[in-house]
A and B are shown apart, each in its own frame.
Chain A
Amino acid sequence: MDFAAINPLIFFSTMVAASIPVLLAALGELVVEKSGVLNLGVEGMMIIGAVCGFITIYNTGSPLFGVLASIVAGGLLALIFGILTQVLHSNQVATGLALTLFGLGLSALIGQPFAGIKPPTFPKPDFGFLSDLPVLGQLLFKYDYLVYLAFILVVGVSYFLNRTRAGLILRSIGENHDAAHALGYNVVRVRLAAIMFGGGCAGLGGGYLAMIRVPQWTEGMTAGVGWIALALVVFASWRPYRVILGAFLFGGVTLLQLNLQAVGIKINPAYLSMAPYIITIVALVVISGSSNRLSTLAPGSLGRLFYKTM
């Protein structure tokens, strides 16, 4: 056993990068759920974002186009979900599951010719001397653009939800859609917008995986990250900043598992692979054990269908 082989600085910065896909996807889903919609298709939207981003960056060589393609692909898939559930009133759980299966299948189909190819490298911002600082440089200034974008997005979403009127309206629709409708807010339109935002975030998370983190295209490469993102939203009790915490926890445990194997700790790797999921389940049980819904900020209308009655 040699823990010294694990460099804490490198561990931290790798953990940050490893947590980005789940962070982005969870953040998007958080906004969707805050508007009262449960979209279980996160996994499908992520993998579609991954394959579309990968194909675009490979064919155009432009990271910007790759990112945009990921966002648009995830958003479009989410729009299908939105139209089905909000306009045609289909069941959200069933539609979300279908979306995941559809996304996995479609991505395998269109991604097949691109399996195993290396994409062009993704650029990092140049912070000049800052990235040469001891410790801080490694901790803060060595990431690619999307890492910074992801954290800006967390701050932005938190500000939007808690400080702006539009955010208040979105929360009110998630809390009680009938009351929001009675006050004259357009429930369906707001929810469609939130669903598209969630899809874009999930797509970008998937794109990050294929374009930067791995980077290459493999069938089914999201490997359940979308499901973890869903769990993270509950784990974070619908608070954006806590999503970061959850994503780090998840990313950290995943990484630790690899590191521990590398330093030769004699523990069946299957247990370590299970660890992130077990921790998530334990966290979920603890949270749902609290009887007071108000303290968890769970949206009151979550997953309920909205029919215009008045």
Chain B
Amino acid sequence: MSLEEGEICALLGENGSGKSTLVKMMYGLVKPDEGEMIFQSRTYLPSNPNEARSAGIAMVFQHFSLFDALTVAENIALGMVDPPPFNKLSREIEEKGKAYGLSLNPDSMVGTLSAGERQRVEIIRCLLQNPKILIMDEPTSVLTPQEANVLFEALRNLAAEGTTILYISHKLEEIKTLCSRATILRAGKVVATCNPEEKSARQLAEMMVGTSIVTPKRTESQGNRNGQPLFRVENIEKESSSNFGTSLREVSFEVWQGEVFGIGGIAGNGQDELMEVLSGENLPKGGTIMLNGHDLARLNPNERRKRGLLFAPEQRVGHSAAGEMSLTENAYLTAADRKELSQAGIINWSRTAEFSQTIIKQFDVRTPGTDNFAQSLSGGNLQKFVIGREILQNPELLIVNQPTWGVDAAAAASIRQKLIDLADSGAAVVVISQDIDELLEISDYISVLSGGCLSKARPVQELSREDIGLMMGASRESLPEAVA
């Protein structure tokens, strides 16, 4: 593959297709077994990141490589080959920040910053080196759309000044608007190079996977809302437990059997708080959560599971799954009661292993075995495992937060299909997602969470992308007609 000066080039590929390995070689973290890289007509083989940085290659990581207990200036100094004294560095940080619309206070502690601000730290750290190539590994996966737009603007400015940007992302729409060229990797090989603007997101995804992707099919006229709702949430109130969170205000919705209920909204508008209240990790201050006519609002997560309310939270490692435990152990953790995996307090390991084996088979989880640590799986595979674990417990209602976040296109499609299948089998599904297209694709009814308030649910046939976008941007007060 090749990169030209001043272009924004995308690097595409499924999880495990070798994107990360490739850029790590460019950044000196991994050594190639064979072959060579030529940078500015010279052979280039960095043996560590310091060499890469001095040659002019900088990288912004997917998981931020930042130090919480150090200040912005200290973090930036650590990533530079030869940093200037601190007062000079602080001034440069402020200047660069202004120049690209990425302002930062050099003395604030990184641990207190938001995800978007943390990413600015990384980017400015790179920019201060005046890099010739800037590698960005999934930069927008943790950003709100507004933050992402600020980032795109800064990247375009940089490219116009002659910096080459290599951009890795799963979000194909984003690549179509930002990048002028895309190189596609599959199973460690370059399979195609194209202009992403000329291809549809679907074509790009198919080039990555190598086969055609079946869009999840929603059978029509599902969930005719007759009789009693299966699940009814009324007037949930909850103060957020974190400083940056959003408090829930009078959240109410109803879900009928056999339907997929989508909750849209930009991250940070109360999604995490809603998920915690619904799953029972935190109890609401007021309101009721009724499933089949029983109030679950005061029950803990395990009691709720026993009654058929299952969930898959957003954060896969550390929330849905324990990273340093095997898949079998993780299967036991939520399925113990419903699958009767223990008797009199003694775990039935053979049954548990069988259950996790079933999940792996039915949900096409790619892993060497059930004894592997959960954290050794790629994001998409672990998500398939987590969703599979819940679905196979035959829930009455499954609540999923951001089901396809950071998951490649093929895995995302299969996860969505499974959620639809679950609804078709008579259960109900609540999907909380930032991804408008995903909601339109699988939901029957959609409402939007904004500033801790949930809009009235509307059937998906009445809604367009723009409608939802508008609902996301506005609070309930300012949109009384549109919602009612």
Q: Mark B7-49, 1 if CB is under 8 A from A, else 0.
A: 0000000000000000010001110000000000000000011
Contacts of B112 in A (CB 8 A): 294
Q: Mark A172-188, 1 if CB is under 8 A from B, else 0.
A: 10011011101111000
Question: Which of B72-80, B193-201, B220-228 sits within the interface?
Answer: B72-80
CA distance A294 to B243 in the complex (A): 15
Which residues in window 98-125 of B have CB below 8 A to A?
A: 109, 111-112
CA distance A293 to B111 in the complex (A): 10
- B135 shortest CB reach to chain A, Å: 12
CA distance A294 to B70 in the complex (A): 9
Taking CB as reference atom, which chain A residue is nearest B65? A179
Contacts of A183 in B (CB 8 A): 49, 65, 78-79
- A77 shortest CB reach to chain B, Å: 30
Residue from the list B65, B70, B77, B109 in contact with A182, Cβ < 8 A: B65
- A211 shortest CB reach to chain B, Å: 38
CA distance A310 to B20 in the complex (A): 10
Question: Which of A105-113, A134-142, A163-171, A253-261 sits within the interface?
Answer: A163-171
Contacts of B28 in A (CB 8 A): 184
The reply to whether A300 and B48 form a contact with Cβ atoms under 8 Å apart is no
CA distance A4 to B64 in the complex (A): 61
For the residues of A in contact with B, the DSSP-based class is helix
CA distance A175 to B30 in the complex (A): 23
Given known pairs A183-B79, A184-B48, A310-B24, the reply for A175 and B29 (CB within 8 Å) is: no
Say if the beta carbon of B180 comes within 8 Å of chain A: no
Contacts of B83 in A (CB 8 A): 165
CA distance A185 to B30 in the complex (A): 14
Residue from the list A169, A293, A297, A298 in contact with B78, Cβ < 8 A: A169
The reply to whether A168 and B78 form a contact with Cβ atoms under 8 Å apart is yes
Contacts of B111 in A (CB 8 A): 293-294
Q: Mark B55-83, 1 if CB is under 8 A from A, else 0.
A: 00000010011111110001001110001
For this complex, 30 residue pairs linking A to B, each with C-beta atoms less than 8 Å apart, are A168-B70, A168-B74, A169-B78, A171-B67, A171-B69, A172-B78, A175-B67, A175-B68, A175-B70, A176-B68, A178-B65, A179-B64, A179-B66, A179-B67, A180-B67, A182-B29, A182-B49, A183-B49, A183-B65, A183-B78, A183-B79, A184-B28, A184-B48, A185-B78, A297-B69, A298-B69, A299-B69, A300-B67, A300-B68, A310-B29
Apart from the given pairs A175-B70, A182-B65, A310-B24, 12 other A-B contacts in the complex at a CB distance below 8 Å: A168-B70, A169-B78, A171-B67, A175-B68, A179-B65, A182-B29, A183-B79, A184-B29, A184-B49, A294-B109, A294-B112, A310-B30
